[in-house]
Amino acid sequence: MITIALAKGALLKDSISIFKKAGLDFSEALLVENRSLTIESKCKKAKALLVRNGDVPVYVSYGQADLGIVGYDVLQESDAEIAKLLDLGFGGCSMSLAVKKDSGYLKPTDLPPNCYVASKFVKTARLYFEKLNIPVEIVHLTGSVELGPITGMAEAIVDLVATGKTLKDNGLIKIDDIYHSTARLVANPLSMRIDNKPLQDLILSIESSNDNKN
């Protein structure tokens, strides 16, 4: 039986749609009354693990899941050894650098040297500023990073931006986009090597339906 790690939250509905087109129905996971963390497909050929977005690469790398769907932003932060297979195109948002609207900063190089930048995405933020050769201190926050500039703790934030409404509501503006993030199909490398066809057939089916959609 193929095991698939699906991220709960914003990616779940489209992830289930992707697998349904490939013949695996996990729609029970979308029911309000569902509290189960494992869902078996109606055809009994696969099961889904419902996990946090950030945990998808972990389950896949440890072999507890053969496949997974996860945001590119999570992959950028993860050191998990997994095979990155397909860009599925949904769940689009930007990893962006943002500051207070009235800060006067219009581009990254306007930030003062060694200033504080708040982010959930520490690895991404650090690499970004290293490439720009701008020395900053990264402050790791796990909640609403917008509070960093609001409270004066940080001059800027690095965070995911979808519609931009949260930034606007909190008096912040984007001054740079670092990358565009979408949902990605990933796999356990060992599962791929020992697969006796079902896993590869499933991947090809997903790839075909995704190509047709695009």
pLDDT tens profile 134-174: 999 999 999 999 999 999 999 999 999 999 999 999 999 99
Same domain as 79, residue 18 = yes
Q: Which two tokens stand for residue 201?
A: 């057939």
Of all residues in the chain, the percent with pLDDT exceeding 70 is: 98
Residue 72 domain boundaries: 2-91+182-213
User: How many domains is the chain partitioned into structurally?
Assistant: 2
SS (H, E, C) the chain: CEEEEEECCCCHHHHHHHHHHCCCCCHHHHCCCCCCCEEECCCCCEEEEEECHHHHHHHHHCCCCCEEEEEHHHHHHCCCCCEEEEECCCCCEEEEEEEECCCCCCCHHHCCCCEEEEECCHHHHHHHHHHHCCCEEEEECCCCCCHHHHHCCCCEEEEEECCCHHHHHCCEEEEEEEEEECEEEEECHHHHHHCCCHHHHHHHHHHHHHHHHC
Same domain as 162, residue 189 = no
Same domain as 176, residue 160 = yes
- Is pLDDT of 213 > 70? no
Same domain as 108, residue 84 = no
- Is pLDDT of 199 > 60? yes
Say what the pLDDT of residue 195 is: 83
pLDDT tens profile 43-89: 888 999 999 999 999 999 999 999 999 999 999 999 999 999 999 99
- Is pLDDT of 211 > 80? no
Same domain as 67, residue 14 = yes
At 161, which CATH number? 3.40.190.10
Same domain as 134, residue 79 = no
Same domain as 70, residue 21 = yes
